[in-house]
Structure 1
């Protein structure tokens, strides 16, 4: 029965390959998103933008809170206690 199902599902091979590629891209994106070094670098750039006068203190606070939340989520994700979804 395995051979018959493979033959019948052969037209769907490109879809299965595409799904695999999408999963690989998603895994890499999550790895980068949850990398604490990436979040810290973004926090540093945010502080530089504030010091350069590119953003206001209020904008800084909002973005900083979001990045700190993301850093906390990254810590949970790396510890294996994250909920598995990306915000």
Structure 2
């Protein structure tokens, strides 16, 4: 049955390669879109900036809230 299927689907071979690649690209994009690592890195950098006096407390809290919302959104989307 597998051989017969492959023979019948042979005319579609030029389409199956690009479709497979498109599926892999979509999978990779979705993984990167929902990955919390970049947001966690930005939170770490934000904390460092506050500790070193590069930003004030109100700016820190505003940016932290935005990043925590983004982190929650990414976690819910997984």
Gaps of 5+ in 1: 1-19, 79-87
Q: Which has the higher contact order (CA 8 A, sep 6+)?
A: 2
Gaps of 5+ in 2: 1-21
Measure the CA separation in 1 of the matches of 2:66 and 2:33.
13
Structural RMSD (CA): 2.0
Measure the CA separation in 2 of the matches of 1:68 and 1:58.
15
1:66 maps to 2:70: no
- Larger Rg, first or second structure (1 or 2): 2
Specify the SS of the correspondent of 1:55. coil
- Tell me the TM-score normalized by structure 2: 0.58
**How many residue pairs are counted as aligned between the two chains?**
54
Measure the CA separation in 1 of the matches of 2:32 and 2:47.
21
